[in-house]
A and B are shown apart, each in its own frame.
Chain A
Amino acid sequence: MSLNFDLYVEHDSWLHRLDPRTKLIFAVLSLVVLTSLVNIWIILAFLAATQAALISARLPRDRLLWGWRVLAPILILVPLLWPLFYQEGSALVSLWVLRITDLSLVRGVAVALRIAAMAFACFIPLLTTTQTQLVQGLMRLGVPFRAGLLVAMALRYVGVFYGSFGVIMDAQAARGLDLSQGNLFQRLRAYLPVLVAMLITCLRTADRVAMALEARGYGSARRRTVYHQLRLGPADWLALGLSLSALASLAFVRFAYGFGTHPWQL
């Protein structure tokens, strides 16, 4: 069994051609600015902009729908649970301890959409940049090579370990292990043979990979060279300039005038 955990979709578009650093900076700044905003209209506008960007990059529709499917539980659960913890505003429904208010309802939806907006801000670099370019971009932004390699290998081995997990489940099931019987605690306990075998497999793989890296000279060169040099082109400067000025203005009006702190009023 193989599973592809790489979100990258191969294509030639303006988003694909942008330098990975541009996309990474955009994603990180978006996360910071979005964290400070709760206004549903601003969040919806940001989401619309990310969707427009991804559609203009000709990403297949099923990949975008996949993103929404992954986010669906959050988009449903957060608005449902929010009124339990936040009860300011005028009550729309009052039932024993439960008090659903206009503010809690809109805020719940806004928070859920904000999570979706943050996810899509991250999907932009992930969907349009290869893993190699991502790691190279991270390193050019000052992340040490070891950390960059760690990220690349973690992404690379998620699929491998998922495959091993499936085989181990089969191997224990073939010896009569039943994971579908009993209460929650019993089921968790039944997973022990799978988890221990998984741990042993992971440790052995890690040991082998470490030796294979060392055997190919990992860590011997003080300065590393790269084959494909990253260069910021005019399109990168334009994209960086536009997104930075938009996000910086948003941050300024947010902190100077409190813009975007009300759930629906602008």
Chain B
Amino acid sequence: MSPSDHLAAELEDVWFSYEGHEPALRGISLGLPAGACTALIGHNGSGKTTLAKHLNGLLRPSRGRVLLEGQDIGRVPVGRLSRTVGYVFQNPDHQLFASTVWEEVAFGLRNQGLASTEIGQRVGEALAAFALESLAGAAPAVLGYSLRKRVALASVCAMRPRLLVLDEPSVGLDWRSTRQLMGLVEGLRQQGTTVVLITHDVRLATRYAQHMAVLEEGRLLQAGPIREVLRRFDALRAVFPSPPPLPALAAALAPDGALGVPLSAEEFYAAYVQLEGREA
């Protein structure tokens, strides 16, 4: 069994330049573990979205290659890749156009050429899963921002992608709405969907991601399981001027690493109590 069998997607030495500009990606090699959520972290312009757009063929590498479930996607059209890779754009208004929420969710399924009974069933399921049933007949354009985000997510998830890319899902949402939205994404992940979370919010990443890739000026600074990446936060000062508070506090209290890399207050508390007990 090759390592690619455990990876939903893999980038091999990917370089990319927008026409007439400096390279936006500089030799990125990264694997996305299947069934896990990988957070792509970095400043604005670090190459997060450019990297993610290579996963569904919206951008093609100038050098290197992209493998999806072990297969080189080469020049496979975006339309075909959309059956496997779902991409939720940052601004829902760039996506929503239909006269009703129902029609909006059905759009991708029609593009897939599914039978009308299948479309009806899948739209019904998606609306139920995203708590949008009561809004099925409403016009997406007049809904509030967080609801428009949810409709955009539902319309992509109805296509049942095996890899789901979320571009800055928390932008413009309060923490409550973000948690609601990410709760739905977490549900999909637990059912086996691989998730790529593009964000500059470390708090969001530590809460929902198991893996993390840190980008800076088109280069991959660090990648791996989230605790391993955060353990080396000193090396990431350029990206996180103020390190994530809990791992930083744990490192300050126990420089030998005895408190581990806690990602939540509960984890920190449990590790601290355990350490106290051991010392007592």
Contact = CB atoms under 8 A, between A and B. Distances in A.
B94 interface: yes
A197 B56 CA distance: 21
B155 A197 contact: no
A214 interface: no
B25 interface: no
Interface in B87-129: 87, 89, 91, 93-98, 107-108, 111-112
Contacts of A193: 97-98, 107
Contacts of B96: 197, 200
Contacts of A175: 82, 95, 107-108, 111, 155-156, 159
Contacts of B83: 176
B94 A173 contact: no
A196 B85 CA distance: 24
Interface string A164-192: 10011011111111100000000000001
B111 A1 contact: no
Given A192-B97, A197-B96, A197-B97, A173 B107 contact: no
A171 B108 CA distance: 11
A200 B98 CA distance: 11
A201 interface: yes
Contacts of B87: 171, 174
Contacts of B252: none
B26 interface: no
Interface in B26-79: 53, 56, 58, 77-79
Select the residue from A1, A173, A175, A200 with max chain B CB neighbours within 10 A. Answer: A175
Interface string A58-86: 00000000000000000000000000000
Contacts of A262: none
B95 A173 contact: no
27 contacts: A164-B94, A170-B58, A171-B87, A171-B94, A172-B97, A173-B58, A173-B78, A174-B86, A174-B156, A175-B95, A175-B108, A175-B155, A175-B159, A176-B79, A176-B108, A176-B159, A177-B111, A178-B79, A178-B111, A192-B97, A193-B98, A196-B97, A197-B95, A197-B97, A200-B96, A201-B93, A204-B93
Interface of B: 18, 53, 56, 58, 77-79, 82-83, 85-87, 89, 91, 93-98, 107-108, 111-112, 141, 155-156, 159
Interface of A: 1, 164, 167-168, 170-178, 192-194, 196-197, 200-201, 204
